[in-house]
Structure 1
Amino acid sequence: MMGSAGRQEQGIFSDQDHGIVFEGDDADYQEYFLTLGAEIREGMAIVGYPRCEGKVMASHSRWCHGKSGWEDQIDGWIHEDTWETLRHLLTFIDARALVGKRELLADVKNYVFSHIESNANLLKRLSENISYIHQGINAFGQLLPDEKGPYAGSIHMKDVGFFPYVHASRLLAIKEGLHDTSTIRRIRHVADKYAFVKNKAEHFQYLLELRTDFSNKQQTYEDVHYIPVAQLTKKQKQRLKSAIKEGKTLFQQTKKLVESGE
């Protein structure tokens, strides 16, 4: 599982993000596992998980390889060094094993970490891939909800709230060679080493809880990402503002750390 499922941070609605690492060579077994991936894709669609628009699914050859095939693809992504290929690499780092031999996935992740250790510039390039975050608060300390469209008056929790924590904790996990994919556990794992990370997990936990508080109003996959600002209490608004500010700080300081090469 990858994406929010890989990080164990799904809302009540989620699309598909999955892949397969199998034993053996691609030439011998990939066709079989791609067929299995298609069965998984369609079965999940039947029970309510939309197909991933970006095709991050085990039915796509990009996300279905033997261990050596994965290593070859990772070499290719790094060598090509484009925004898209590095984004694929970041997506893969959030993978966690759901069934099967977990060491297969662990071995491929260790292969990525070995690249990071031997290529000081690679982590910087990954950091540049996620250089932009959406602003959730203006200069006057006010929340910035969507101004028009079906979600006018609502704030996009994924872009404004979750992503600064997700992106920062992923970079730190890559830097430290951590296999854990949970944003909260990643943050807690490195908090003793990096002072600017302390207490950030609690703010991210609040964002998850706030999304859950509005789950009874969420009827579609897109609904999951939005919280109506007018329906927040004064205390909820203050805590949300605090969480957004702390996430932005975490993100900025993480990028500064990575780009310094320390």
Structure 2
Amino acid sequence: MPDSSTEQAARATPFSPYVSLRHLVRSLPLTVGPSASVRETLLLLDKTRGDAVVVVDETSRVPLGIITLHDVLRRVAIEAGDLQAPIAAVMTGGLITVPADSTAHQASVVMVRRGVHHLVLIEADGSYFNIVSQTDLYTLPGARSTDLVTAILAARDLPTLVELAGEIRALVGRLVAERVSADTLCNRLSSLNDLLTLQVIELVAGQFELPYVQWCWLVFGSEGRLEQTLATDQDNGLIFAADSGEQAAVLRESFLPFAWAVNEALDACGFPLCKGHIMASNPQWCLSADEWRAAFAGWLENPQPEALLNSSIFFDLRGLYGQESLANDLRGWLLARAHAYPIFLRAMVENTLNWESPLNWWKGFRYDLDKDFPHTIDLKKHGSRPFVDAARVYALARQIPDTNTVERLRVAGEQMGVAAYDAAALIDAFQHIQRLRLEQQVHGSADAISNRVDPDELHELDRLILKESLKQVGYLQKRLVRDFAPS
């Protein structure tokens, strides 16, 4: 049974799809060596009331296989297996493993795609850490979207995926109408969009003879933060392993046609091509690991306006398809260095402070005088973006690996000793604005107005909460100034 400290840690860790699996597991790891008998393994399961045991190499601690209660029923009871036989004879090999520092969201997507109920978590050296089960990840797409998930996984052509992308948006519209919380909405939308994008990439990859090297499809911006709304274009790139600049150039030419085909397919599914060309099909963003590090280093060392703009997009990176360790290593490299560039961080803070509050001095609404959409407020530019930008600064300064804005704010608040109610106020304010954006996008008809809202058309309570939410931006920016003022 887990000891009291493990149980307390599990209760103390608030569940979030963005939390690290390392902090999510709720029991001590159950392991046996490959020579242990089936009987010994069953006794261990019974004693601990576990539902799975991982078989590990007794010297290296590398996981070799897994045995679950379902396996016991089928392979031991039904097939009358020998209880004295070594567990290696009945275990399931070919394990699906994920790094222990992966997020619950990543594990959920892997489980759904692979049709498994357990994932083995490993350390950086490949040794066993623990196991996570589907019951631990209870934010998997819910019952009403189960058929949609099944259909996405079964899709084998682009027209089917295009149709399913429309069904995803329709589902979100229904959830918005039911006033489901913003974090649940964004998580559901991100989970389904991830599954759809993975299917698109896999479908397109089968049409190309790709180089036999490690590579990973990267996502940035709102997709990297798991904060996609219904009005979002593509922000993606590709990272691959190369031994030299010359080899990188050759590999890039091989990947670009594939990347363009993926970008076009995603466009057909309702994710418009990026007007700023931040896509994997742009040679500038189809780079080797060394080239990505060089680009990031250049922005840190020379924080000019273009570098700050790029960092606000690319520094929210997440690996989606392929060798995710390439993305994790790149993010780790960035976090290990960014905090050592105070000039860059202060430039980001100054950029974040360049915000015009939609509230006037007596706390009424002030509009941005857009002649095409008068009497409206841009909820992205003047609402959610200040929270996103501030959270990114804190993540870089304090080496927080999370990409999600809520998690960044929560972890930064814990590290800095911010009162729980103050941190909760910031998070609630951000999520209220996100929900209003989604509501507007569901009912809006034009891209240009997808993030705009007329406060007079809001429910009285929503209007009041929006005012209070926008006030929180001011409080957050005052803290930024205090925390990053030159010493």
Report the TM-score, using the length of structure 2 for normalisation. 0.51
Deviating beyond 6 angstroms after TM superposition, the runs of 4 or more aligned structure 1 residues are none
CA distance in 2, matches of 1:67, 1:30: 12
* Pick aligned residue for 1:109 from 294, 306, 331: 331
Q: Is the 8 A contact 1:38 1:58 kept in 2?
A: yes
The structure richer in strand per residue is: 2
Give the corresponding residue for 2:34.
Answer: none
Give the corresponding residue for 1:211.
Answer: 437
Give the corresponding residue for 2:402.
Answer: 180
CA distance in 2, matches of 1:259, 1:102: 36
Q: Is the 8 A contact 1:134 1:159 kept in 2?
A: no
Higher RCO by CA contacts (8 Å cutoff, separation 6 or greater): 1
Percent identity of equivalent pairs: 25
2:290 is aligned with 1:68: yes
Q: Is the 8 A contact 1:97 1:105 kept in 2?
A: yes
2:471 is aligned with 1:253: no
* Pick aligned residue for 1:31 from 232, 242, 253: 253
1:233 Cα offset (Å):
1.9
CA distance in 2, matches of 1:215, 1:208: 11
Q: Is the 8 A contact 1:145 1:229 kept in 2?
A: no
After the TM superposition, which of the residue ranges 161-170 and 20-29 deviates more from structure 2?
A: 20-29
After the TM superposition, which of the residue ranges 249-258 and 181-190 deviates more from structure 2?
A: 249-258
1:147 Cα offset (Å):
3.2
Q: Is the 8 A contact 2:221 2:312 kept in 1?
A: no
Look up the equivalent residue of 2:380 and give its one-letter code: K
1:61-103 CA-partner distances (Å, limit 9, x unpaired): 2222111111122233334431102321232111112212222
2:371 counterpart SS class: coil
Look up the equivalent residue of 2:457 and give its one-letter code: Q
Look up the equivalent residue of 1:53 and give its one-letter code: K
2:393 is aligned with 1:154: no
Which runs of no fewer than 5 residues in structure 2 stay unpaired?
Answer: 1-218
1:153-186 CA-partner distances (Å, limit 9, x unpaired): 2210011110110011000111121221111111
- What is the number of residues matched between the two proteins? 261
Q: Is the 8 A contact 1:15 1:221 kept in 2?
A: no
* Pick aligned residue for 1:83 from 297, 305, 310: 305
1:65 counterpart SS class: strand
CA distance in 2, matches of 1:102, 1:3: 17
Give the corresponding residue for 1:126.
Answer: 348
CA distance in 2, matches of 1:138, 1:226: 18
Give the corresponding residue for 2:428.
Answer: 202
* Pick aligned residue for 1:5 from 223, 231, 237: 223
1:260 Cα offset (Å):
4.0
Look up the equivalent residue of 1:204 and give its one-letter code: F
Counterparts of 1:217-232 in structure 2 under 5 Å?
217-232=443-458
Alpha-carbon spacing, 1:103–1:258, altered in 2? closer, same or farther (3 Å): farther
After the TM superposition, which of the residue ranges 101-110 and 209-218 deviates more from structure 2?
A: 209-218
Look up the equivalent residue of 2:275 and give its one-letter code: E
1:201-220 CA-partner distances (Å, limit 9, x unpaired): 11111111222333332223
1:8-32 CA-partner distances (Å, limit 9, x unpaired): 2222121111111112252231112
Alpha-carbon spacing, 1:78–1:146, altered in 2? closer, same or farther (3 Å): closer
Q: Is the 8 A contact 1:136 1:144 kept in 2?
A: yes
Look at both structures and tell me which one has the larger radius of gyration over its CA atoms. Answer: 2
2:233 is aligned with 1:15: yes
Counterparts of 1:136-147 in structure 2 under 5 Å?
136-147=358-369
Look up the equivalent residue of 1:205 and give its one-letter code: Q
CA distance in 1, matches of 2:371, 2:228: 24
